[in-house]
Amino acid sequence: MSEEYLPGIGLDVGTSFLQVARMKPDETVEFRSERDAFFVMVPQGKANARMIEQMLKQKGAFSLKEEGKFYIVGSHAIELANVRMQPVERPLKKGVLSDSETNTFGMLSKLIESILGKATTQGELCVYTYPADPIDEDFDIVYHKNRMSEILSGLGYKPMPLLESVALGYSELFNDVDNMTGVVISCGAGMHNLTMMHMGQDLFSFSIAQGGDYIDRHVAKQMQISETIVQAEKESGIDLLNPQDKLQKAISIYYDALINYVVDALEKKFAGLDQVPRFGTKVPVVIAGGTCLPNGYLEKVSLALLSKDFPFEIGDIRRATHPDALRSVANGCLVYARFELEE
């Protein structure tokens, strides 16, 4: 193991972001992130191909050349897509990997290698996230988990899968007040993942196969612009309670639609459960993920949750804070890895 870090790595494999968490010897946590995206450039002749290759090298862009095409991955893919007002491609669709689309496995492998690197010690533990089974769609989580393990094993790691929402619980509920008990919701680009926990145990988990991409897709269609432009606007500091122009208003409208869809699905799911724990106290709800970051989101989702009839009393509704709502899942994977490695 490298002397730069303690053993154990947390890896959050999201539809929009990859997040890595490592612990230094002084027990501070270091994070690295990368966009989970790629962009394809087709050269217009041999001279143009050489020029593209040279410019990508100068920019330090992580890319792959295959069959005469350049596949640029990560944040540089987003930059190029925005300049050309074209959409990026993503290795994951709604939180899972699928080989039905060309080169997705290879692109995800390159992205993970670029952010994680190869293991400094063979068999180093890497805890990575995977989504729960969705309640509104039918797709294969098993395939995704196995292919993820294949990528990490190929880099020399010992892969250990962990439900995305459970990882969030290990990051946010591990304190003297919550005692690892509560509802955690990871609001991602491809889907929402939820777990109800009691004393660190996963009582039940499920996912909803809609996320921030739903907003990007529908706003882009209505405004006749690229989805990457919508995504950039969402991340620019927009206030959902006070939109400033037509684009922000459209984003706010589709945020409302997404929130209502998710909360309605949660109410129906809980209503259909045979047994729901009787906690005897109010149950905290913690949310995280890129979709929950805009100003006004917490207020909107709180109103929606409190308007529904759940078989438990909702307590504090809050964003993740360890260290923030975007990196908390990776942090939870690291916490889990450190527990696994304790003697």
Please list the pLDDT of the chain residue by residue as tens digits (343 residues): 457 899 999 999 998 899 999 999 999 999 999 888 888 888 888 899 888 888 888 887 767 777 788 888 888 888 888 788 787 888 888 788 866 656 788 888 888 998 999 998 999 999 999 999 999 988 878 989 999 999 999 999 999 999 999 999 999 999 989 999 999 999 999 999 999 999 999 998 999 999 999 999 999 999 999 888 898 899 888 999 999 999 999 999 999 999 999 999 999 988 888 888 888 889 999 999 999 999 999 999 999 999 998 988 999 999 999 999 999 999 999 999 999 998 6
Inter-axis angle of helices 328-341 and 164-172, to 10 degrees? 80
Distance (Å, whole) CA 159 – CA 145 = 10
Q: What is the pLDDT of residue 1?
A: 45
Q: What is the pLDDT of residue 21?
A: 97
The runs of H, that is alpha helices, within the chain are 46-59, 75-84, 104-116, 141-154, 164-172, 212-223, 227-234, 246-271, 297-306, 328-341
Tokens of 176: 């003297």
Distance (Å, whole) CA 257 – CA 219 = 12
Q: What is the pLDDT of residue 107?
A: 83
Q: Parallel, antiparallel, or unpaired for β 124-130 and 157-163?
A: parallel
Q: Which residues contact 46 (CB under 8 A, 6 or more apart)?
A: none
Tokens of 101: 């689309």
Q: What is the pLDDT of residue 342?
A: 86
Whose tokens are 């003697």? That residue is 343
Q: What is the pLDDT of residue 178?
A: 92
Q: Which candidate, 113, 161, 115, places its Cα nearest to that of 327?
A: 115
